[in-house]
Amino acid sequence: MKRFAVIGLGNFGFYAAKALFEDDNEVIAIDTDKGRVQAIDPYCSEAVVLDATDKEAVKALGLDAMDGVIVSTGTNISNSILICLHLKEMGVKKILCKALDDDHAKILKLVGASEIIHPERDMAVRVSRGLSQPNMLEFIPLADEFDLIQVGPPRAFIGKSLKDLNLRAKHNVHVIAIKELVPENFILVPPADFVIKDSDILIMLGKTKDIRRIKALA
């Protein structure tokens, strides 16, 4: 069982804490608002009314031993920056902070955030890509320069083996798995002699620019 803390229980923080708890993790949920803390209480291991800018009070919760801490303090930029700084000084290894804009994100990174969360932007990108790139069945953002996607094979791929296509050398992308629809089957790390059919789904990993080139082949 992993242990997490969520600081700030607005919509994003509430559902983040609830999802972590439903995945059988230990979750401490923290907010200054008593009503929000009462609302999350059934969906976490411990719900605490606390001003998270109070370094000593937060330190007493033992957050340095957590597998990760999510900071989602709404529109109060200064609070999120101060909390992030305190968590870093406490030795919290993984700090995920919700940012309101790019400048906010830069400051959070400077004071110790391990990962920046842009929930509205990330969801907008996912929805937009689903509309503009219908052959991209699912988009999963990784690091800034990499994508992991499920995509229908371009016409030029059909009837050819992975060895013939040599995607790693020619396009700098990796086919890490294939979902066969007829008959239904899932192949993790497919062999080089696998021949692609029009009913297959390719699960590919690569830099965003290279993934886009694959789409352009369709």
Q: Is 148 domain-assigned?
A: yes
Work out how many domains the chain is built from and give that number.
2
Residues 195 and 96 in one domain: no
The per-residue pLDDT for range 176-203, each reduced to its tens digit, is 999 998 888 999 999 999 999 999 999 9
Instruction: Kindly give the parts of the chain with pLDDT less than 50.
Output: none
Q: Is 76 helix (H, G, I), strand (E, B) or coil?
A: coil
pLDDT in tens, 95-104: 999 999 999 9
Domain with 169 in it: what CATH number?
3.30.70.1450
Please tell me the predicted confidence (pLDDT) of residue 193.
94
Q: Which pLDDT value is given to residue 90?
A: 95
Q: What is the pLDDT of residue 118?
A: 87
CA distances from 45 to 6, 25, 49, 158, 179 (A): 11, 8, 14, 51, 38
Closest CA to 148 of 205, 189, 101, 100: 205
Q: Are residues 155 and 103 in the same domain?
A: no
Same domain, 112 and 50: yes
Q: Are residues 104 and 148 in the same domain?
A: no
| Residue 65 backbone class (left: φ over 0; alpha: ψ -120 to 50; beta: rest) | alpha
Domain boundary residue, one of 77, 94, 117: 117
Q: What is the pLDDT of residue 19?
A: 92
Q: Which pLDDT belongs to residue 128?
A: 73
Same domain, residue pair 112 and 161: no
Q: Which domain holds residue 136?
A: 130-216
